[in-house]
Chains A and B, each alone.
Chain A
Amino acid sequence: MSSVTIFDIKRFAVHDGPGIRTTVFLKGCPMDCWWCHNPESRKSAPEEVIYKRKLGEKEVDAKVTYGKTMQIHELMSEILKDRLFYEESDGGVTFSGGEPLHQPEALLELLKQCKKAGLHTCVDTCGYAQWSNFEHIIPYTDLFLYDLKMIDIENHTKFTGVKNEMIMENLQKLLKQKANVELRIPVIPGVNNSKEEINRYKDFLQNTVQNVPKIHLLPYHKIAGNKYEKLHMEYRMNTIEKNNSSNIESFRKELESAGFVVGIGG
Chain B
Amino acid sequence: MTERIEKLRTQSLNAVNRISAERALLITEFYRSHESQKASIPVQRALSFQYIMENKSICINDGELIVGERGPAPKATPTYPEINLHSTKDLDILNSRKKVSFKVDSETRKAYEEIIIPFWEGKTNRERVFKNMDQAWLDSYAAGIFTEFQEQRAPGHTVLGKKIYRQGMLDIIDEIKEVIAKLDFFNDSEALNKREELLAMEITAKAIIQFAERYAEALETMADDEKDEIRKKELVEMAQVCRRVPAEKALNFHEALQYYWFVHLGVITEMNPWDSFNPGRLDQHLLPFYKKGLADGSLTEDWAKELLHSFWVKFNNHPSPPKVGVTAEESNTYTDFCLINMGGLTEDGKDAVNEVTYLMLDVIEEMRLLQPSSMVQISKKNPDKFVERTVKIVKTGFGQPSIFNTDAIIQELMRQGKAIEDTRNGGASGCVESGAFGTEAYILTGYFNLVKVLEVTLNNGVDLKTGKLIGVETGGSTGFETFENLLHAFKIQLNHFIDIKIKGSNVIESLFGAHMPVPFLSLLIDDCIKNGKDYNAGGARYNTNYIQGVGLGSITDMLTSIKYHIYDKRTFSWAELNHAIEANFEGFDQMRAQLVYDTPKYGNDDDYADEQASWIFNAFYDAVNGRPSPRGANYRINMLPTTCHIYFGKVVCATADGRLDSEPLSEGISPFQGMDKLGPTAVMLSATKFDHLKTGGTLLNQKFSPDFFNSSDSINKVVKLIRSYFRLDGHHIQFNVVSADTLRDAQKHPEKYQDLIVRVAGYSDYFNDLGADLQNEIIRRTAHEAF
Contact = CB atoms under 8 A, between A and B. Distances in A.
Interface of A: 10-15, 19-20, 53, 55, 58, 60, 62, 81-82, 84-85, 88-89, 91, 265
B132 interface: no
B605 A88 contact: no
Given A12-B682, A55-B592, A89-B717, 13 more contacts: A12-B721, A12-B784, A13-B787, A14-B713, A19-B720, A60-B589, A62-B593, A81-B681, A82-B685, A84-B727, A85-B720, A85-B721, A91-B720
A187 B589 CA distance: 43
B787 A12 contact: yes
A82 B684 CA distance: 10
B721 A20 contact: yes
A85 B724 contact: yes
Contact of B679 (A12, A15, A55, A60): A12
A11 B678 contact: yes
B287 interface: no
23 contacts: A10-B679, A10-B787, A11-B678, A12-B721, A14-B714, A15-B786, A15-B787, A19-B717, A19-B720, A20-B720, A20-B721, A55-B592, A55-B593, A60-B590, A81-B605, A81-B682, A82-B681, A84-B724, A84-B727, A85-B681, A88-B724, A89-B717, A265-B711
Interface of chain B, main secondary structure: helix
Contacts, number: 64
Nearest to B726: A88
B721 A62 contact: no
Interface in B768-785: 784
B597 interface: yes
A53 B590 CA distance: 11
Contact of B593 (A60, A81, A88, A89): A60
Interface in B305-324: none
A265 B717 CA distance: 15
A58 B589 contact: yes
A91 B596 CA distance: 33
Nearest to B658: A55
A55 B597 CA distance: 10
Given A53-B597, A60-B590, A14 B682 contact: no
A19 B678 CA distance: 17
A82 B721 CA distance: 11
Interface of chain A, main secondary structure: mixed
Interface in B722-736: 723-724, 727-728
A8 to B, nearest CB: 11
A55 B711 CA distance: 35
Interface residues of B, number: 27
A66 to B, nearest CB: 16
A89 B681 contact: no
A119 to B, nearest CB: 14
B680 interface: yes
A11 B723 CA distance: 17
Nearest to A10: B787
B787 A89 contact: no
Interface string B407-436: 000000000000000000000000000000
A11 B683 CA distance: 11
B772 to A, nearest CB: 15
Contacts of B593: 53, 55, 60, 62
Contact of B596 (A19, A55, A85, A265): A55
Contacts of B713: 14
The 6 closest A-B pairs by CB, nearest first: A89-B720, A12-B679, A60-B593, A88-B724, A85-B724, A12-B681
A14 B707 CA distance: 13
Interface in B573-603: 589-590, 592-593, 596-597
Contacts of B685: 81-82
B787 A14 contact: yes
A220 B681 CA distance: 27
Contacts of B786: 15
- The residue among B597, B711, B717 with the most chain A CB atoms within 10 A of its own CB is B717
B318 to A, nearest CB: 40
Contacts of B605: 81
A91 B720 CA distance: 10
A20 B589 contact: no
B585 to A, nearest CB: 9
B591 to A, nearest CB: 10
Contacts of B682: 11-12, 81-82
Nearest to B585: A55
Contacts of A14: 713-714, 717, 787
B681 to A, nearest CB: 5
A12 B680 contact: yes
A91 B717 CA distance: 9
A208 B717 CA distance: 36
A241 to B, nearest CB: 20
B681 A20 contact: yes
B601 to A, nearest CB: 15
A200 B528 CA distance: 80
- The residue among B597, B720, B786 with the most chain A CB atoms within 10 A of its own CB is B720
